[in-house]
Chain A
C-alpha cells in the first residue's frame, strides 16, 4: 500500500479556501486517491475520490497532477463546521478478493477560526 504524507495540522479563517496537499510518491498505476473527513466522536466519512486531473463534487475538489505523486484537497469557503481531521488514502481497485484495504495515516487536523 502506498504511503502518504500530509501536514499534521492547519488553521484557517471562516470563508477562506483551504488546500490540503498529500504526497504519495510510490503510488501504483492502479491506485485511486481518496479523502475522508472525521469529526470528533464520529467515524470517518468519504469526501471525494479521484484517479487523475480534477474531480469536483458538492463538498470539495481534488486536484491530481499528471505524475500523480501528490494530490490537493480543496475546500471552498470553509465554515466552523468544517473543523475536522482529513485523511488522504491511496489504494488499488478491487482485486478479486473483495474490497481492498484502507490505510489511514494520522491525517490533517483542520481548525477553522471565526
Chain B
C-alpha cells in the first residue's frame, strides 16, 4: 500500500488567496483526521471523519477553514481566505475504526506558507 497520500507537498501563497489541501487515505480505512503542526502550538487535531461523516470539527480554528470528504478515498481541507498565521504543516492521517484503539497512519504533510 502506498500509505496516506497528500498533495501538494509544499504550497506558497499570498494572503487572501484560497488554499486547498488534498488527502487520499489508506484503502479500507474508515476514519480520517486532519492535523496542523506549528512550533508554537505543536500538533493540533482540526477535524476527523468516520465513514465520510464529520464527527468532531471543534479543532477547526475559524470559519475560514472547511473540510470535506465526498467519498472514502478523498478528502480536502480548504482555507479561504488564507492568512499568514495559517502557515504550518498540515497532516492527514487515517485509521481503521474498531473495538480497540486504532493506530493512525500519517501522511507526509503539506507545508503551507502564506505570505
Per-residue interface assignment for chain B, residues 96 to 109, with 1 indicating a CB less than 8 Å from any chain A CB and 0 otherwise: 01111111111111
Q: Chain B contact residues: over half helix, strand or loop, or mixed?
A: strand
- Chain A positions within 8 Å of B18 at CB level: none
Residues of chain A contacted by B4 (CB below 8 angstroms): 43
Report, as a range, how many residues of chain B touch the other chain.
20 to 34
Which A80-111 residues have C-beta < 8 A from chain B?
A: 87, 91, 93-94, 97-107
Question: How many interface contacts (CB-CB < 8 Å) are there between A and B?
Answer: 71
Minimum distance in angstroms from A70 CB to a CB of chain B = 19
- Which of B30, B35, B97, B98 is the most central at the interface, judged by chain A CB atoms within 10 Å of its CB? B97
B97→A98 contact, CB < 8 A: yes
Residue contacts A-B, CB under 8 angstroms, 24 given:
A34-B101, A41-B108, A41-B109, A43-B4, A43-B93, A43-B109, A44-B104, A45-B106, A46-B103, A46-B105, A93-B100, A94-B100, A94-B102, A97-B50, A97-B55, A98-B30, A98-B48, A98-B49, A99-B33, A99-B48, A99-B50, A100-B102, A104-B42, A104-B45
